[in-house]
Amino acid sequence: MQLAYLPSPSTGVLHLGPIPLRAYAFCIILGVFVAVWLGSRRWQARGGGKHLIADVAIWAVPFGIVGGRLYHVITDYELYFGPGKSWVDAFKIWEGGLGIWGAIALGGLGAWIGCRRHGVPLPAYADAIAPGLALAQAIGRWGNWFNQELYGRATTLPWAVKIDPANRPDGMADVATYQPTFLYESLWNIGVALLILWADRRFKLGHGRAFALYVAAYTAGRFWVEYLRIDYAHRILGLRLNDWTSILVFTAAVAYLVISARRHPCQEELTDLDTPATKAAPEQTKANAA
């Protein structure tokens, strides 16, 4: 008999009258809030404007959500298309299913658009937001706990997560406890955030290197967490698709760190950097005074 385990929530939805409040969505929203808050503090500490991070996030967040969902639907299309499936379910994002690779890719595009509109360099913005992104992922992973999804192999460890029969894998109806991969990844991401904060303070990372460190550290953890998961995934040469993606992205991030450090050894200066509108304000004030 197993003496200890982590229970799963009985439901991931709380109804406030006719309005359903979904824990998965709440975790995502809370993660975004933390990322913007921490990113704003880091940006202001380097001399940037107070509202710049939030202004750019207005572009980055929607793009990221769409990208994350697209990646999930494309790589797991069997869940939504084919005999007995409903393509409408592909739009039910509240039921879970966001791919971090797609979220970063399209979210980066949205951030680039926002940065261009506000006249700030994208690498500097990415550096400011990097540890916040790691914390956002740490928070967002708890949405998988509420949905009882993306857990790992069966185990009797005292920190195993108990999964309800309706959410257990086919052929494993009698197995109740599994590796809590959501917890492993959440803790890893907290460690990634702390690593970035320490490294940025110690080495004055700049020109996108703090973001590259986030990517490298995250993918290293994602590789071993992915190894524990048992949900369906496409496999190439025995490895899950996300494992190969982690390897490729990790390699690219490390290469960027090395090349950037050689080309731009010093941190860029962002003192008094702000939006074009704010920059123009002092000049307008002088003109009015004249």
Digit-coded pLDDT (tens) for 191-229: 999 999 999 999 999 999 999 999 999 999 999 999 899
Q: What residues have CB less than 8 Å from 90, skipping those under 6 apart?
A: 69, 73, 80, 81
What is the distance between the alpha carbons of residues 64 and 67, in angstroms, rounded to a whole number?
5
Higher model confidence: residue 172 or residue 15?
Answer: 172
Closest CA to 114 of 205, 27, 30, 51: 51
User: Are the C-beta atoms of 99 and 161 separated by less than 8 Å?
Assistant: no
Q: What is the mean pLDDT of residues 74-95?
A: 80
User: Are the C-beta atoms of 188 and 196 separated by less than 8 Å?
Assistant: no
Helices 52-75 and 100-118: crossing angle, nearest 10°? 150
pTM of the model: 0.87
What is the distance between the alpha carbons of residues 163 and 177, in angstroms, rounded to a whole number?
6
What is the distance between the alpha carbons of residues 157 and 52, in angstroms, rounded to a whole number?
45
Q: What is the mean pLDDT of residues 153-160?
A: 94
DSSP 8-state class, residue 146: H
C-alpha radius of gyration, the chain, whole number: 21
Give residue 41's Cα distance to chain centre: 19
Please determine, for residue 180, whether its predicted confidence score (pLDDT) is greater than 60: yes
The band of 271, judged by pLDDT with boundaries at 50, 70 and 90, is low
User: Are the C-beta atoms of 99 and 106 separated by less than 8 Å?
Assistant: no
Please determine, for residue 281, whether its predicted confidence score (pLDDT) is greater than 50: no
CA distances from 93 to 22, 28, 60, 90, 98 (A): 11, 11, 18, 7, 8
- Highest-confidence range of 32-41, 65-74, 225-234, by mean pLDDT? 32-41
- pLDDT of 165: 94
What is the distance between the alpha carbons of residues 120 and 273, in angstroms, rounded to a whole number?
8
Please determine, for residue 121, whether its predicted confidence score (pLDDT) is greater than 60: yes
CA distances from 151 to 38, 77, 179, 218 (A): 29, 20, 6, 18
- pLDDT of 272: 46
Please determine, for residue 288, whether its predicted confidence score (pLDDT) is greater than 70: no
Mean pLDDT taken over the chain? 88
- pLDDT of 115: 95
User: Are the C-beta atoms of 28 and 183 separated by less than 8 Å?
Assistant: no
Assigned token pair, 173:
């109806």
The per-residue pLDDT for range 235-245, each reduced to its tens digit, is: 889 889 889 99
What is the distance between the alpha carbons of residues 150 and 226, in angstroms, rounded to a whole number?
9
